Amino acid sequence: MTVTALQTGIHPAVDGGLLLEVTNVSIQTDSIVSITFADPSGGPLPSYVPGSHLVVQYGTGVNAYSLTGSGSAPSEYAISVLQVEDGGGGSVAMHRLSVGDRVQVSRPRSAFAPVSTATHHLLVAAGIGITPILSHARAAAERGIPASVIYVHRRGAGAHVADASELLSRGLTELIECTDRGSFQQVLTEKLTTQELGTHLYVCGPDPFMNTVLDQAREHGWSQARLHSEAFGAAELDEGEPFTVNLVRSGIRLDVPAGVSLLETLEKAGKSIPNMCRKGICGECSLSVLRGTPQHRDLYLSDQEKAANTTMMCCVSRSDDPELELDL
């Protein structure tokens, strides 16, 4: 896809994604805005798994935001963003967006999916954590699967309260709002001890909140496979540190920038490296390492082979040392 990017360059995390236009911005609360994106030519957008997030580029950085729709054949993607003054700047940039702006985004990514065999979803949200929970609630209502939402927010400061309430008439089983710690604790204990066997629990909110909910669930005998929490998959956005490779046989040194793979760097330099999957599984792009410690990110090498540090898969693996010497 050819993209007329407003930004200086496309961040690797959104490369191969979509260029979308802001079609609506609406104030949810004092500190939360909802932003809607659509295809500039009005085309349909890819469906997504409930609980998915979108990686959005701002300037040279990226941030992940949960999509709030059910994910079924959407014509728009909607996110809600809490302004974080001391954050990385993403939320401030999002709050500055206005209708007509174009933004480079990833395809929706799934890391907080509903379990298809569940006969009841217990959905627990705190604050801005309501966003993926709303997506789950909408999808459950569409599919006719019972779902209960427990939503903790400050009095008068809950985003999407109206959206969640509206779902009650469209199949959502119950919505319990809690505005103080005591009432939430009571509701949580009651819910954790009275669920029929097909129930799964999903939680999203600040880390300490999620940990509290998950710990209590475990104490009440919930097995790990029933517990689902949104972690925004930090690893998948990890573009790695820049490093240098010294190609001993060719007598060339190449810089591998952050966010660019060693394989791509070698290809750009005119080296033809056999490769197939470019995902670290097929083993085709194996290279011999003469010096330095590779940072192994592949699924191909055994633990033993990885520990030997003599071979690396250049499509995904990088370097722990500033420089690697390769037999190339």
Binding site for another protein (CB under 8 A): 44, 46-49, 52, 71-73, 107-110, 113, 115-117, 119-120, 143, 146, 192-199, 220-226, 276-283, 299-300, 302
Q: How many CA atoms lie within 13 A of 1 on its CB side?
A: 15
Strands of 5-99 (E only): list them.
18-27, 32-38, 53-58, 61-66, 77-82
CA distance 51 to 267: 37
- The one-letter code for the residue type at 85 is E
CA distance 210 to 231: 10
CA distance 318 to 315: 9
CB of 13 to another protein, least distance (A): 12
CB of 302 to another protein, least distance (A): 6
Q: What is the DSSP letter of 14?
A: G
CA distance 221 to 219: 5
CB of 317 to another protein, least distance (A): 15
CB of 117 to another protein, least distance (A): 5
Pick 31 or 195: Cβ nearer another protein: 195
Residues β-bridged to residue 326:
247, 289
CB of 118 to another protein, least distance (A): 8
CB of 309 to another protein, least distance (A): 19
Pick 134 or 326: Cβ nearer another protein: 134
Pick 190 or 255: Cβ nearer another protein: 190
CB of 281 to another protein, least distance (A): 4
Pick 43 or 182: Cβ nearer another protein: 43
Residues β-bridged to residue 33:
27, 81
Pick 1 or 197: Cβ nearer another protein: 197
Token match 């939320």: residue? 91
Please give the distance of CA 287 from its chain centroid, rounded to a whole number: 31
Pick 27 or 73: Cβ nearer another protein: 73
Token pair recorded at residue 38: 């659509």
Pick 236 or 323: Cβ nearer another protein: 236
CA distance 202 to 230: 8
